[in-house]
Structure 1
Amino acid sequence: MTQTITSLEGFVRKIRAVTPADDEVLVYRGHSDRRKFKLIPFVLREQKFKDAEETILRELLASHPAEFAADSTTLEQLARVQHYSLPTRLLDITWNPLVSLYFAAKNDKNITGEVVVFRIKKHHVKFFDSDTVSCIANLAHLKVAEKDAINFSLAGDDFNLQPPIDRLLQFIRVEKPHFRAGIDPAHLKTVLCVKPKKNNPRLLAQSGAFLIFGLTGSLDASPVPEIAIERIQINGRKKLDIVNELDRMGINDSTMFPEIEKAALYIRQAL
């Protein structure tokens, strides 16, 4: 997909030509600058974030416990702090290609954007209560030295009896008390598509989902066999026209960010 899109009509025509196989689903992500943004979650982009991952979540939980009172799993907590732009191992995606186009076109005018199309095997799409998702999400509670100490050459009981994995199991059992010590090493090194609970207005408005990253790198540098990637370039000089077309379709700052302050700003700027 090398053609550069210059209009909403052209984008819809291009998207309609992307047909998933019977065992695939399609999800999308928009980048306003195709050269700047990589397929890697915030917490894995810089060493200082990797080093602090174990404390980032606890710091916000400690200072604002009421915000997390309804969250029963680490995934739900990560999804909530993602909403506040705190570094996590989640990468935002959407089921709606027009939402991805909005994010590709709304900023960095005159810079080529892109919509990333993910073809994901259906068995690689998990719900919020998946055991595998719980294993990956709870990596956020391990110290960086513990994650680095995991020996992936081991298997079976030998793998699960390692001190870092034993500690990971303790966190998993907080949300899944009957979880057995049977973590598959491959599950901790993959990337999954997660269907979260739509328990905040932004997730609902953006038809949101997540890619959750295990102990892996960027999808650009470390592909996952179950996830194929295609890219649609968005002409930077036509971004404003595309944003205006999307606005007429009801996709704008106010609808994508339904918090009252965003709605107020949109109304003011529209005057």
Structure 2
Amino acid sequence: MTKGVDEVLFYRGHSNREKYKLSPAVFRTDEEREAEPTMFRELLISNAPDFRDDHSTFEKLVRMQHYSLPTRLLDISTNPLIALYFACKSSTDKSGEVIRFAIKQNEMKFFDSDTVSCIANLAQLSQSDKQAISFGGSNEQFNGQDPIRKLLHFIKEEKPYFRDAIVPSDLKRIVCVRGKLNNTRILSQSGAFLIFGLDASLPETGNTDIKIERMTISAGSKKKIIQELDTLALNESTIFPYIENSARYIAAKYRPT
């Protein structure tokens, strides 16, 4: 697959190519889908100070993602070596893979996009409300439904100017989003995200908006690749830039094998 002149490339690494799929964590079980709004609120309540600088639901979801809460985000990176690191860092007895995504430039969104706000705030709707949304009828009828009125309320909490005019098809999209580089982990991992709309799924072979190409990483090559990446300053200390990770990485270098 060659890169088109109007396309942007992103990458993702899977340490076990047979196990991991292109699905956000919150979509992987019915229980997590059901619990999405509850998990969202519980983490905000229990760790409120950590979210005080996040002004949108998307920004909150990004922080939750990196605290390992299941969300409707899927991490991707502009740096193929970051993806290679994740493909090799675990499951040393399994083949990994690096996945390349080619996304049209005009389909890219930024953190403050209205479309992103519409999709991100689905995280606050109950599963019963999500299931009650009807996509028939006119746009006016769509925006008059009770579940959509609730969704509009959440959107207007971050964007008071937002009109009652959600585009129905937007809620079912998968959108590539460039976030703020105000999170050290996002910055160190050259991070971006795919955000998944209502019951959205990404075929493992890609779709018309997101082209996909895969490269297998053999289990036997993982250790050597990790060592080579370390010479490029790509290791646990730099990719997960927190003091406890730096300490663990430094200690491991001097621990007898």
Percent identical: 53
- Calculate the aligned-residue CA RMSD, in Å: 1.2
Of the three residues 174, 177, 184, the one matched with 2:167 is 184
> Is residue 144 of structure 2 the alignment partner of residue 161 of structure 1?
yes
Q: How far off its partner does 1:40 sit?
A: 0.4
Hey, what does 1:106 align to over in structure 2? 89
- Partner Cα distance (1:225, 1:108) in 2: 32
Distance 1:133 1:66 in 2: 24
Out of 86-95 and 149-158, give the one that drifted further: 149-158
After superposition, give the CA deviation of every residue in 1:166-195 in whole Å (9 maximum; x if it has no partner): 110010001000101111111110101100
**Superposition deviation, residue 163 in structure 1:** 0.9
Match for residue 93 of structure 1 among 56, 76, 79: 76
- Judge conservation of contact 1:31–1:104 (CA < 8 Å) in 2: yes
- The number of residue pairs the alignment matches comes to 254
Q: 1:224 to 1:176 in 2, by over 3 A?
A: farther
The equivalent residue for 1:21 is 4
* More relative contact order, 1 or 2 (CA 8 Å, 6+ apart): 1
Distance, in Å, in 2 between the alignment partners of 1:222 and 1:109 is 25
Instruction: Name the structure 2 match of 1:69.
Output: 52
Distance 1:115 1:222 in 2: 13
Unpaired segments ≥5 residues, structure 2: none
* Separation (CA, whole Å) in 2 of partners of 1:183 and 1:222: 29
Aligned match for 1:133, one of 73, 96, 116: 116
Greater Cα shift, 125-134 or 106-115: 106-115
User: What residue identity is the alignment partner of 2:15?
Assistant: S
* Kept after mapping to 1: 8 A contact 2:36/2:71: yes
Which amino acid in the other structure matches residue 57 of structure 1?
Answer: F
With the length of structure 1 as denominator, give the TM-score of the two structures: 0.91
CA distance in 2, matches of 1:223, 1:119: 9
Instruction: Indicate how the Cα distance of structure 1 residues 131 and 217 shifts in structure 2: closer, same or farther if over 3 A, else same.
Output: closer
Q: Answer whether contact 1:28 1:96 (CA < 8 A) is retained.
A: yes
Q: What SS does the corresponding residue of 1:251 show, helix, strand or coil? A: coil
Unaligned ranges ≥5, structure 1:
1-17
Give the Cα separation in 2 of the matches to 1:224 and 1:64: 38
Counterpart secondary structure, 1:210:
strand
Q: How far off is 1:223 after superposition?
A: 4.9
